[in-house]
Structure 1
Amino acid sequence: MTNPYMPPPLPQPVRPAPRWARKRYVLPALGLALFIGIGIGASGQDTKTDTTVDAKPAAAKPQPTMTVTATATETTTPAPAPTVTTTKTVTKTVKVTRTVTAQAAAGSGSGSGSGDSGSSSVYYTNCTAARAAGVTPLYAGEPGYDSHLDRDGDGVACE
């Protein structure tokens, strides 16, 4: 039963198909059209045969002549230029600093009882200087030994 006083229901808008559904039909159709187009384009040869041309004798047809000319060009590669090598000699100068300490004589009243203790001390800035002086390895207590030359602290410097 319908009520005459009630308005009829509004029509629902038709929803378009979702994107994935469109792709589901459109993409295969485009692929099929592509393959058909490639097939038609590849056939490119005329399937019709002209029977009137074939009926004429071959002597009446002028035959085209084809001339092929081959040209060979020889290219030579130049010999490589000689390589010039320069040698640079570097001379390194090592500075060795010697510090000499003068001590007063035993009879001059200085109070120092021994005259043989360290009459000269030697200081090397690095192991390269000690190697240049030819005194490596340096042991603790020897002139020129210093803790900054002994990396591992075992008492032997510039090993």
Structure 2
Amino acid sequence: MNVPNNPPVIPRPAPKWARKRYVLPVVALAFGLGIGAGAADGSDDSKTSAAPRPAPTVTVTATATVTAAPKPAPTVTVTATKTVTVTAPAPAPAESDADVSDDSGSDSGGSGSGGGSAYYSNCSEARAAGAAPLYRGEPGYAGHLDRDSDGVACE
């Protein structure tokens, strides 16, 4: 008996197309069985029906309430009126030239504000007296009436 020398047969893995032929149907079968097992949970479906059940009804109603705004109290306006009378002294009677140039007399103003005796505490008084605008050296001119110190007050 003569046995020919045949090399041993080594099993080869199946080609990829053959693996897909067997694997895909098995996976599909397992998936279908899993779906079927999950659907049959063993509970009795005769207790639950598709009939509608009463449920609480929620109703939302928006109501706008208009509240009348309170009327403001009448405003009382008080106006204070102050009357200022400014009198200019009458000019002294003219004297001889010798008496006028005499420096021994006293100044009526003493501050170099023009020598007049008119004094205005604010420009409103000067305007009311008809003296505005006042120029430096005139009676009634004062530094507190001249805001920009340009020599013209109550402009």
Give the TM-score range, shorter chain.
0.3 to 0.5
Larger Rg over CA atoms: 2
Which structure has more helix as a fraction of its residues? Answer: 1
Which structure has more strand as a fraction of its residues? Answer: 1
TM-score by length of 1: 0.43
TM-score by length of 2: 0.44
